[in-house]
Structure 1
C-alpha cells in the first residue's frame, strides 16, 4: 500500500492501487433499491487533470464492463455511470459534467438522482448539470464491492486526495447541497469534515428515564417527593432533596442517588436494581448526568414497547374509499355486510397489529373483487391508460404496468409484471378477449397483498431510513384522506418531488381541502370516543322511562357535527373541543337536554347562556360511557387516560369491584371519596375518581340534574391534579372544569398523541417520543388546529422515515 497514505482524515492516492470493501455492499445496494434514489458526495483534490477512462473516484462494480454506479474523472470533467433498467450493464449512457469544471484544488462534488430519474451534478455548491436517467435499480447486483481510486479490475486508476466519500440512499435537495458546502470550514482543512454526535441525550431518554420511571418515581415524583427529592423534573432532581444534592454530574461515587442504589438501600422495600441497571445509572452520572427532557413522564417511560413494524391491512373504511378512488365504484354497503368487522385495540379500529386476516377475510376479498370488477367497464377503464386493445406482449406489459401502478399504488416489479401477464396469456389461450383479460388481471390485483395491505420495504440495518417516494405518497394519502393516493400524488412520487419539504406541505394543504380529509377526521372522533357503542345502548326503562332508542343516534350525530363544525368550519384549536359554547341538536335531543328547540332537524345551538352545556364532556355521547349508574370510575379513567395521558394499574386479582349503589345520604361522590380514602384502594382511585367529580350532576343518560333519585344534592366542584404538577387545581363549576382542561398543555399534548396514534395506525413507542414532542410544538405554534397537526405529522420523521429491521445475514 505504498501508493496510499492516510493522515489527518485525508486519503492520499499517489499511484495505481486498489482499495475495496472486504465484503459485498449488500446493505448499501438494498438501501438504494429500497428508496430508488442515490446521492454520491465527495470532497476531493485531483493530482492531475490528465486522468480518463473515466478514472474511478468511487465505484460499486465488478470490472470495467459491469457496475451499479461509478463516479469518475474524465480529464477536467466528471462522469457518472448508473445502471438502471433503462441503461446498460455498464451504466451507459453516462451523465457528464460540463467541460473543464475541475481544477487541481479541493473540490466538493455531489451527484444526486431521485426516484423519478432526475439527475443533478453540483460542483462547489452550484448546479453544473441536469439530466434524466430513467428506470429502476431492480437489476443491481448485490455481490459487487465498493471501490475507491480504481476499478475493481485494477485498470482505471485515479490519483489525488480524498477528504470525504459518502453514498446516501436518498436524493438531495438543492438546499442540502448548499448547506453541506457552506458548512465546511473556510480553510477546507484536512479532516475537518468529521462531526461528533453527542449520544448522551438519547442515552438518558432510552436507558435512564425508564429506570427512574419504573423504580424511583413511585416515591420521588412531584406529588410524593419523599425526602424532599423529586426525580420526575430535571431542575428539581438536580437540586436534590433534604439530604443534599442527589446527583453530582461526573462523579457517581459522590452522588447520593448512586450510593443509595448501589447499596440496595433504594428502591425502599422494593426489588433492587439489576447489575446492568446500576451500571447504566453510574455511566450516566459519570458522563455528565445529561438530562434531555424536562419531565420524566411515566406514561411514556414506564411501559417501553419494543419498537417494531406491523404490516397495515386496509380497514373496511379504507378499503371502501380506495375502491371508490380507483374505480369510482361505491361498495360500502356490500363491504359492511361481507367483510369481518375491524376490532378495537389500543382505542382505535385501525391499530395495525390487530388487523389480522383469516379465512373469512380471504373468502370475502375474493367475493368483493368479483363484485367490484363486475361494476367496472374493463375496456373503458383500460382506456385510461392507453387506446390499444391488442393482446400482444408489448402492449399488455405496458398496460399492466400502468394499471398496476394505479391500482397497487407503486410500480410493479418484473416478477409481478410477469405474473399478471401470465393471467392475460391464460385468458387468451382459453379463447378470451381483451375485456376478459383486463377483468381477470383486475380481480387478481384486488386480491393481491399489495392492494389489501400497505406494504413497505422495511429491511435495513435496524435504524430509521427514509421511505421511498411511492411509500411516502401512500402514507400521506391514507393519513390525510384514509384512501389511496390520487394521480397528482403518484405523479409527484414518480418525479421524486416528495423528498422536498415544501412540496410535501403543498400536497398536504391540497389534500386537506378534500371531502376525504373531513371523512378521515370523522373516523377519528368516532373511534376515539367509541361512538359506535351508542348503537347498542339499552338503558334501564324503569329507571329512565322517557328514554327513546332514537336518542342514541342523535347523541352520536351531535358529537360528530360539533367536531366537524369546530375543526373544519371554524378551524379552531383542538383543545377548544373541551369548552366550545355551541353544539348541534335534534329537537328530541334538545328536549332531552331541557333546551328550547330551535327548529326541525339537526340545528346549531349557541350555549353561551347555558352553563350546564359546552364541550365534549357535556355531550350525552360521552357521559353515557359511565352506564346507567354514571360510574365515576369509568368517567374518571377516561379523563385520566384519554385527556391527561396517564394511567393506573389493573385492580388486584380477586378484588370485589361490584359497584356500590347510591342511597339516601350517599351519592356517587361520597362513595368515591370512601374509596379514595381507603388504604387498599386509595393509591389508584385517588388519581382518577376525583377527576369525575365535576360531572356528578349528569346522570347515566346525560341529563343534567341538581339532585339524584334519592333526593341527594349533587355538586359540581372539584380539583384536577395534572400529571407533573405538585398541587391540584381547584374549580367551582363544571364550566370552570372544562376551561381548565381546554387550557391545559397536558390535555393539548394528549390530543396530539391521540390524533397521531390514529393517523399512524399504530401505538406510539418510546422511540417516537422526541418526534411527537416536536410535532406538538410545531402544531401549537400554528394554532393547534387539526390541519396544523396533520401537516406537522406528515412533515415529521414519523411519516418520512421508517424503523427498519436488520436484514438477515446469509
Structure 2
C-alpha cells in the first residue's frame, strides 16, 4: 500500500471513530495502569479535598472517555510525566518502569483520540507575508531584480556559494548583512517601489502563521498602490522583466490580437492564481485589456494594467485551502498540494513543473511527490527557505537589538558609527544550518558539530590565534574549520545566542533557559507573573554573590518556583559564557562559575560540555521538537494534539535514517496533516484552561 493510499484509508476510518467508541476497550488499561498512579501520586494536589492545582482535577477523570475528551489536557499530562516534571521533586518518585508504561499507554490513547477528531486544525485563510509576496512577484514576472528591500533576509550571498545541486558547501565564502552591516551592497530592485510593513514572527512561531496574516482595508489599499508602483517603475521593462518578450511585446498579427491576449492571460493567470483560471474570470481580464487598447493605450501599457490588477487580486494575495465537503478530512488536490509545497520550501508560487504535474494528477502520487521534493531541495530557490526558517526558529532577530555595554565591551564595537561583532556572530548558526541542509547531515549537529564557519574576527573572539585581516563591515569572509573544543560547535553555545539572551552588562540565565526550552525542546514557558520584580542590582555589601545566589529570592516565591526549577538548570548551564559569548572561569568578583544542574531530573551535568551531552541523551526529544517547528512552518499554523500520530511517525523515520534533515523534510511533505484538507474542526481547548508550564509552576 502506498503512503497516499494509507493516508486515504486512515481518513476513511475516521468516520467510524468517536471518543466514546475508543474507551470501553481500554478502560481495563485505565483501571490497571492509569488510575492507580493518579490515585497514589497525583490527586493529592489535583482533586482531593477540593485542592485543584493548575486547574486540573484528576478526580473528574473516571475512565478513558474522560481522558480522550480533552486532548490538550491529555497531552499536557503526558508531557509533564515524560519530562519528569510530575510528580513534583519533593514528592516520592514513581517506581522504575511505571512512568514509562504510563506514558506509553497514555500516548496510545492520545493517538486514538486524535484519530477520532476526524481531521486537523484548519489553517486560517491568510495573505502572503512580505517575504512571500516579493518572491511570488519575482517568480511570476521572472524579474531579474527584487521588488523591494527585504531586511528580514539576515544573510546575503556575495560569492555565489549557495549551490545545493552540488551537495556541498564550499570551504570559503563571502556574505553580508543589511541589518548589521554597511549598506554599500544593496540588491538591484525596482525603482521607486517601497515595501509594506514587515510581518513579525509569531511568539514561539513563524511569520507565516495564518492567525497573524490578516488583511485590513488599509493594507488592502496599500497592496493596490504597491501593484501600481511595480508596473509603473522606471526600470520595469525588458531589462528586468523576464517575461517581457512573451507577455508585453505586441503580437505580430494585429487581427489576432484578442485571441493572443486571451492565451497570454490564460497562462499568466494560471500561474498567478496557482490553478487553471475559470472562463468567466479570464474573459473579464481579456475584456479589461481590450477596453484599454480601444481607449488608445499602447499594448505594453494595457498588459501592465492587467498585471497590476492581478497583483492586487485576492486570488493572488490569499493562501487558502478549500474546506472538505463533509465533516472528515480529505486529501488535497494536485494544485493545492503544489501551492503548499512551493510556499513551504521556496516561499513562493509553484513553478511550471509543479503546475504541470498537478494538472495531470501525478503530483499526488507518493513517488512523484518525493521526486519533486528532492528536485526542489536541489534548486537554488531553496535559499529562500534558508532565509526564512532557521533565523526564525533560532529567534536570531534578537541579536540585532542586542547592545552590550560599550564601556565594558569596547571591542564588541569595532567601527564607527555602530558596527558590531554581532554581525559575524549572527552568520555562524545560519551557515551551519545551510551546511546541514545542503549536505544532508544529521540535525543533531545543531546541538554539537565538529566544524563551524568563522571569520577572523570570530576566531579572535573565541580566543583562537589569527593573523588575517578581521574584515567588515561591508562583507564578511567565512572559512570552514574543524572544531575540537566541545564547548563550541552547534548552535546553542554560539556567541550570537549567548549575546542576545544576555543584558548589557550581565548574563540572564532565565532568558537563556527559556530560549533552550522554546527553541530546542519546543516547550516555551509562560510569561512570568506581572508582579514579579526584575533581578535587583547588586546592593552594597552583596558584591561577592554569584548570579545563582542572587536568584535565590525569586526561587523562594511559590508562583515562581515551578518555572525556576525548570529553567534554572537550562540557563545556568551557560554561565561560563559572559554577556558577549566569551568563556570565563570566574566572575569579576573572583567567585567560581557554577554551571552544574540536572536536565529533566535525570541527567546530571557539571559544565556546558556535559550539558550538551545530556541534550544528546535526549536526542529523540529534540528531534520531535524540531519536527514540530518544521511542520508548524510548513502548515502555517500551530501544532495541535491531532498532529501527534503524524509527528511520531516523522520522528521514527528520521531516527531510522541517522537523523538526516532531508528525511525529515520529505516526511513532513508526505505526512497526513500536510497532504490533507482540513475538515474545519478547531483544536480542543483544554478544560483546565492552563498550559503545562502553568500547571507545573503551581506545584
Relative to the length of structure 2, the TM-score reads: 0.72
2:143 counterpart of 1:312: no
Task: Give the match for residue 485 of structure 1.
Answer: 350
**How far apart, in 2, do the equivalents of 1:609 and 1:195 lie?**
52
More helix by share: 2
2:562 counterpart of 1:683: yes
2:637 counterpart of 1:637: no
**How far apart, in 2, do the equivalents of 1:194 and 1:636 lie?**
42
**How far apart, in 2, do the equivalents of 1:599 and 1:564 lie?**
25
Kindly state the Cα deviation for residue 465 of structure 1 after the two structures are TM-superposed. Answer: 1.6
Q: CA RMSD in A?
A: 4.1
Per-residue Cα deviation, 1:736-769 (whole angstroms, up to 9, x for no partner): 2112213421112111111221222221122222
**How far apart, in 2, do the equivalents of 1:792 and 1:387 lie?**
49
Task: Give the match for residue 376 of structure 2.
Answer: 511
**How far apart, in 1, do the equivalents of 2:214 and 2:138 lie?**
23
Task: Give the match for residue 529 of structure 2.
Answer: 652
Rate the CA distance shift 1:627–1:598 in 2: closer, same or farther, 3 A: same
Give 3-state SS (helix, strand or coil) of 2:453's partner. strand
Task: Give the match for residue 574 of structure 1.
Answer: 443
**How far apart, in 1, do the equivalents of 2:14 and 2:635 lie?**
33
2:320 counterpart of 1:455: yes
After TM superposition, the structure 1 = structure 2 runs for residues 212-231 of structure 1, keeping only pairs within 5 Å, are none
**How far apart, in 1, do the equivalents of 2:283 and 2:61 lie?**
54
Task: Report if the CA contact (8 A) 1:264-1:272 is conserved.
Answer: no
**How far apart, in 1, do the equivalents of 2:195 and 2:334 lie?**
34
Give 3-state SS (helix, strand or coil) of 1:645's partner. coil
**How far apart, in 1, do the equivalents of 2:259 and 2:323 lie?**
32
Structure 1, unaligned runs of 5 or more: 1-171, 181-192, 210-232, 247-255, 722-726
Rate the CA distance shift 1:550–1:275 in 2: closer, same or farther, 3 A: closer
2:148 counterpart of 1:333: yes
Range that drifts further, 349-358 or 443-452? 349-358
2:226 counterpart of 1:368: yes
Kindly state the Cα deviation for residue 775 of structure 1 after the two structures are TM-superposed. Answer: 2.1
Task: Report if the CA contact (8 A) 1:577-1:742 is conserved.
Answer: no
Rate the CA distance shift 1:580–1:308 in 2: closer, same or farther, 3 A: same
After TM superposition, the structure 1 = structure 2 runs for residues 181-580 of structure 1, keeping only pairs within 5 Å, are 197=16, 199=18, 237-238=33-34, 240-241=36-37, 268=52, 281=65, 291=105, 293=107, 307-329=121-143, 330-334=145-149, 337-346=194-203, 347-359=205-217, 361-374=219-232, 375-377=236-238, 380-382=245-247, 393-458=258-323, 460-548=325-413, 549-569=419-439, 571-580=440-449
Give 3-state SS (helix, strand or coil) of 2:633's partner. helix
Kindly state the Cα deviation for residue 582 of structure 1 after the two structures are TM-superposed. Answer: 2.0
Kindly state the Cα deviation for residue 342 of structure 1 after the two structures are TM-superposed. Answer: 0.8
Which residue of 481, 494, 512 maps to 1:619?
494
Task: Report if the CA contact (8 A) 1:793-1:799 is conserved.
Answer: yes
**How far apart, in 2, do the equivalents of 1:563 and 1:273 lie?**
43
Structure 2, unaligned runs of 5 or more: 70-101, 152-193, 414-418, 470-475, 682-699
Kindly state the Cα deviation for residue 693 of structure 1 after the two structures are TM-superposed. Answer: 1.9
Which residue of 439, 451, 466 maps to 1:597?
466
**How far apart, in 2, do the equivalents of 1:717 and 1:786 lie?**
31
**How far apart, in 2, do the equivalents of 1:733 and 1:434 lie?**
70
Per-residue Cα deviation, 1:637-676 (whole angstroms, up to 9, x for no partner): 1112222233444333323234554953311222335533
Kindly state the Cα deviation for residue 623 of structure 1 after the two structures are TM-superposed. Answer: 0.9
Task: Give the match for residue 585 of structure 1.
Answer: 454
- Number of paired residues? 570
More strand by share: 1
Relative to the length of structure 1, the TM-score reads: 0.63
**How far apart, in 2, do the equivalents of 1:174 and 1:478 lie?**
22
Task: Give the match for residue 748 of structure 1.
Answer: 623
Per-residue Cα deviation, 1:143-175 (whole angstroms, up to 9, x for no partner): xxxxxxxxxxxxxxxxxxxxxxxxxxxxx9999
Give 3-state SS (helix, strand or coil) of 1:536's partner. coil
Task: Report if the CA contact (8 A) 1:366-1:447 is conserved.
Answer: yes
**How far apart, in 2, do the equivalents of 1:195 and 1:646 lie?**
29
Per-residue Cα deviation, 1:14-33 (whole angstroms, up to 9, x for no partner): xxxxxxxxxxxxxxxxxxxx
Which residue of 552, 562, 571 maps to 1:692?
571
Give 3-state SS (helix, strand or coil) of 1:497's partner. coil
After TM superposition, the structure 1 = structure 2 runs for residues 23-38 of structure 1, keeping only pairs within 5 Å, are none
**How far apart, in 1, do the equivalents of 2:626 and 2:221 lie?**
38
Range that drifts further, 383-392 or 554-563? 383-392
Kindly state the Cα deviation for residue 383 of structure 1 after the two structures are TM-superposed. Answer: 7.6
**How far apart, in 2, do the equivalents of 1:647 and 1:515 lie?**
33
Kindly state the Cα deviation for residue 234 of structure 1 after the two structures are TM-superposed. Answer: 8.5
**How far apart, in 2, do the equivalents of 1:388 and 1:789 lie?**
53
